[in-house]
Amino acid sequence: MKNYCFGIDVGGTTVKMGLFKTDGQLVDKWEIPTRTEDGGKAILPDTAAYALAKLMEKDIARDDVAGIGIGVPGPISADGIVPHTANLGWGYKEVTKELSELTGLTCRGGNDANVAALGEMWKGAAAGHKSGVMVTLGTGVGGGIIIDGRIVTGTNGAGGEIGHIHVDDSIPWLCGCGNQGCLEQVASANGIVRLAKWMLESKAKETVLDPETMTAKDIWDAVKDGDNFACEVAERFGSYLGLALANIASTVDPEVFVIGGGVSKAGPVILDYIKKYYIKYTFKGCRDAEFVLATLGNDAGIFGSAKLVIEE
Amino acid sequence: MKNYCFGIDVGGTTVKMGLFKTDGQLVDKWEIPTRTEDGGKAILPDTAAYALAKLMEKDIARDDVAGIGIGVPGPISADGIVPHTANLGWGYKEVTKELSELTGLTCRGGNDANVAALGEMWKGAAAGHKSGVMVTLGTGVGGGIIIDGRIVTGTNGAGGEIGHIHVDDSIPWLCGCGNQGCLEQVASANGIVRLAKWMLESKAKETVLDPETMTAKDIWDAVKDGDNFACEVAERFGSYLGLALANIASTVDPEVFVIGGGVSKAGPVILDYIKKYYIKYTFKGCRDAEFVLATLGNDAGIFGSAKLVIEE
């Protein structure tokens, strides 16, 4: 058994890199800028160079490295190919093959939201569980489905595209995906603000919130302060997310749901609103699923990517 | 490699039994009555006796049998335990352990809707695919999720409980599961009749259908004859089922959807109505999923159960 591996999380601004022991101990982590110019052609060479340099620095033999796992912000096939990743500048790219050639190491890839889910299942909020679903409530709504310790990638890399579950015909805006009624439109950081504005349009409400400037954080702070309107928004948010997760439960029946991303920083109150409606809508056999807040934060991606190259 | 195996499908009235070659060839199939009296205690001994007798009849050595797969109508854990199966008379029962002791053969178990899905994926409508979702539109709405050739059983045996996906707050009746708004209430054989009656209540319609006596078959026959009201019912049915399958696609992104059960005997027309709404609601990456009608009919269960004991 080799002792080390790398977990890489490629984002639009920085590449997060982690050197791990194969038992899951994080040895070192660092970031490098994501150079998206020229079709993002420097991203993988930069990543490879900093990985190999770290081995030199730590005096670790390449033979003692199990491999490199890499998470990318977009669909990636089981054999490590991305068709197109706009925010990295990439067109068609054989990511794992290229990174493997650059480093001489085994390489496996995954979608960023999916590997974050795997990270939380391995060493984060859901450690010890075999199957779980993570929802990342950030700029968008991402997700990952883990069954028996493995990511459900899906035929088109769309496994865990939870943000595009249809929750309400009446949502008036188009989603970036081209559909109407997507969860992302009412449950992401921007989505909850949009939801609040929409609810204010239909009826004027007394609230501490300023419709012009309010953020997701403002809304949850107001919920904690007992603002009636903010609590109505939280109920509506909870009903959408609870419904989506209930329908996921009738499909894959996970042990645990992990709620992460910026919106989840509001804390346990968010779980209360989600669970209330999850329990209302879910199949009775699934009512006891656990709900937990993510614990790895921005490190979930490097943990999950590292796990991709560790066999158990 | 052993050459034979059994696939068993236990129903409330009969136990369907199949002797297979391990390459998937059905050698012989037959049925025995399901004796549910006395807590269903004779069901497994009857099954074991008829399996062993078949080996004698065919002059097959027990050593040449890979095992017995058994599907049961209710939740069953990964280690073959059912907590309670009302329509067989069973309470807590260690199904695979008991059947293994009775036969001297390896035994694996699965839920009946799940093994039917596995059967269609192995030798039926979806043969050659690695991941697929089957929906069985019968007395109820059952389902099975197959990922990389394996059943997603779920933590509580509720994987693939597609009938209990919540599709519409306004559905006025309670489902047998205790919730309101379940797909089963509007998409099963009884459900589509209930849906048609509900649509007639809100507004009188000209139709060839007799509200007192119509069946699911009558409704689909009327659709094929161009009856306007029947077509409205089919649209509504398609929108519910298309929505549920679209949301499943955003979760597990399967290659193929298999539509089976009695209602599917209406033929390809049913796929047209489902696909129309599936395409409306699904994430764009999943729009090309295939839709096929089940082909194994009542044999899907014995095929899928047999597959449970065949490693690839």
Run means of pLDDT, 10 residues per run, chain B, 312 residues: 96 96 96 96 98 97 97 89 87 96 97 96 97 95 96 93 96 93 96 96 87 96 97 98 98 97 96 98 95 97 97 70
Q: Could you tell me which chain A residue has the CA closest to the CA of B250?
A: A161
Considering the entire predicted model, what is its pTM? 0.94
From B156, B160, B243, residue closest to A251, measured CB to CB: B160
CB contacts of B278 in chain A (<8 Å) are none
CB contacts of A288 in chain B (<8 Å) are 156
Which pair of structure tokens corresponds to residue A27? Answer: 């040895």
Count of residues in chain B: 312
A114 to each of A70, A133, A143, A304, A310, how far by Cα in Å? 11, 9, 6, 8, 16
Neighbours of A261 (CB within 10 A): 24
> A246-277 pLDDT, tens per residue?
999 999 999 999 999 999 999 999 999 999 99
B219 to each of A275, B226, B228, B293, B299, how far by Cα in Å? 39, 11, 11, 18, 26
Q: Could you tell me which chain A residue has the CA closest to the CA of B243?
A: A166
Which parts of A3-136 fold into alpha helices (H)?
Answer: 37-40, 43-58, 95-103, 112-123
Do A161 and B244 make contact, defined as CB atoms within 8 angstroms? no
Do A162 and B244 make contact, defined as CB atoms within 8 angstroms? no
CB contacts of B289 in chain A (<8 Å) are 155
Query: Chains A, B: CB contacts under 8 A, how many?
Result: 134
From A153, A166, A281, residue closest to B247, measured CB to CB: A166
C-alpha distance from B9 to closest chain A C-alpha (Å): 22
Do A251 and B165 make contact, defined as CB atoms within 8 angstroms? yes
Do residues B261 and B125 lie in contact, with contact meaning Cβ atoms separated by under 8 Å?
no
CB contacts of B181 in chain A (<8 Å) are 281
Do B145 and A243 make contact, defined as CB atoms within 8 angstroms? no
pLDDT beyond 80 at A204: no
Question: Is the ipTM above a cut-off of 0.90?
Answer: yes
> A60-105 pLDDT, tens per residue?
999 999 999 999 998 888 889 998 887 899 999 999 999 999 999 9
